[in-house]
Chain A
């Protein structure tokens, strides 16, 4: 208790000394007698004489060098993600420039590059279907054959060739037709292109943009199914589903479902309507997956017997390289191709009568259209 009281007195004395106030006689006598108060007083005197350290080598220049050093460009500590993004952007730009230069150097004419990395596949093949190789020789196309960019294809009368592009766009060349697989898209923004030299084609567009061309017309698919027919200088386009944009010279038209257009050089584009079920070749061949019932499209189950998938190739599959060059790298190829042909013929033979009737109806329809095209457009 006494110690606490003593301490309190000592603290009071220290407080008064710090404030440089006079001590009362009692406190003065205590400070004189108390060794702690005396010690504190001596230390206060020491601190009064205390000289703080003078810092060595302090200059204003050094101050700013330490506090805000001038940073050179290379010493900047960029955040890693910003650096990574910048590098990615630079690489992407370089890639785009290279891609652009490559696209620009492509010849605008229908060329057959010696090698091509892009392929589309032959799906269903009916009748005699041939592709021309780099040597100018026509070779047979079998299901699952790879058709390179620039390949010429020819479908003889009564034959059908389904071509499946990357992005799942399917086209069918029907009857006496000839065309060129002009461009195969390697990117989802790039259009697949097919150049119809003559004859008729049907397009079921999915995924990547698709452009069908004839010598006089450019038909751009806008999520659709359509057919293109080109005879002489006349091109007929029929839209079964969705829309297409047709361009011919300076003329431009957007077609909707069940509309057809006849493009004749020097004449205005003439739009007309047609009845879908009469002419749709895809449905007649039962290869499409939708049907028009009561004015609505509905998905149907594809008849199993009509699935044209051949037995899976266990050997090297036939490859149509570059300009339709059929490369037979495997000794087993001819056997494999024969087996596929037999299978295909068997498939055709076992086709039921109903489908045959539909095909006949389609051929008749085509003949009618031939006459119609020769006689000019009908409204």
Chain B
């Protein structure tokens, strides 16, 4: 992180602390897609992800004064996201709408065919991630979808960087196996 980016982040946090709603809206705007994707992949259920999405930002708004700037703002936000998702998983009650049943509105592109292909591929990846064990899923989601580096994930999950790298690699291999099995089945 460059000094300039660091200063900008510090300024943004200061404005939000002073109750600047526009600054907070800007922050939400820049993170909301990735936060939603992280929640969706960690929880595996769209409806739940949508519900806890607001919890994440409520927590960010209320706790911004506790952010000391020792880590990056993104690390702090994804830390809240992960903990909210874990808390939700622990307190799950009853059946909820699974991600298979949800129609997702993706931004339309100029190439409808490519759009459909990408959407199907992305949803397939999500379904495959949902099949991964919990120990592999969170590191992979935070690394591949949230885009966090290993140090930040290590800070959030409390796992050493070396072990984390191994888990992410193993998750990728497992993910490939799951996708491979589905493709084989479809061919059959």
Tell me the A residues contacting B by CB distance below 8 Å: 7, 10-11, 14-15, 36, 39-40, 42-44, 46-47, 49-56, 58, 60, 63-64, 66-68
Contacts and interface: CB of A to CB of B under 8 A. Distances in A.
Among A7, A10, A53, A66, max chain B CB count under 10 A is at A53
A11 B58 contact: no
A49 B118 contact: yes
A19 to B, nearest CB: 11
A50 B107 contact: no
A339 to B, nearest CB: 79
B36 A53 contact: yes
B105 A56 contact: yes
Interface stretch (B2-10, B71-79, B151-159, B172-180): B172-180
A52 B54 contact: no
B135 interface: no
B145 A66 contact: no
A44 B145 CA distance: 11
A51 B40 CA distance: 13
Contacts of A64: 21
Given A44-B172, A50-B144, A55-B50, 14 more contacts: A14-B165, A36-B173, A40-B172, A40-B176, A43-B144, A50-B122, A50-B125, A51-B119, A52-B33, A53-B33, A54-B33, A55-B36, A66-B54, A67-B54
B182 interface: no
B103 to A, nearest CB: 9
Interface string B9-40: 00000000000010001001000111011001
A53 B119 CA distance: 9
Interface string B69-107: 000000000000000000000000000000000001111
B169 A54 contact: no
8 contacts: A44-B172, A49-B121, A50-B122, A52-B145, A55-B33, A60-B25, A66-B58, A67-B57
B61 interface: yes
B166 interface: yes
Given A47-B145, A55-B53, A67-B57, A39 B172 contact: yes
B125 A46 contact: yes
Given A15-B165, A54-B104, A63 B28 contact: yes
Interface in B98-153: 104-107, 118-119, 121-122, 125, 144-145
A166 to B, nearest CB: 57
The secondary-structure label for the interface of chain B is helix
B143 to A, nearest CB: 9
Contact of A11 (B21, B121, B166): B166
A10 B119 CA distance: 30
Contacts of B33: 52-55
Nearest to A58: B32
B172 A54 contact: no
Contacts of A36: 169, 173
A153 B50 CA distance: 85
Contact of A67 (B61, B121, B145, B177): B61
A46 B32 CA distance: 21
A43 B36 contact: no
B181 to A, nearest CB: 12
B172 A51 contact: no
B145 A50 contact: yes
A302 B176 CA distance: 104
Contacts of A54: 33, 104-107
A7 B119 CA distance: 33
Contacts of A7: 166
Contacts of A50: 121-122, 125, 144-145
A347 to B, nearest CB: 80
Nearest to A40: B172
A38 to B, nearest CB: 8
A68 to B, nearest CB: 7
Contacts of B166: 7, 11
Contacts of B118: 49, 51
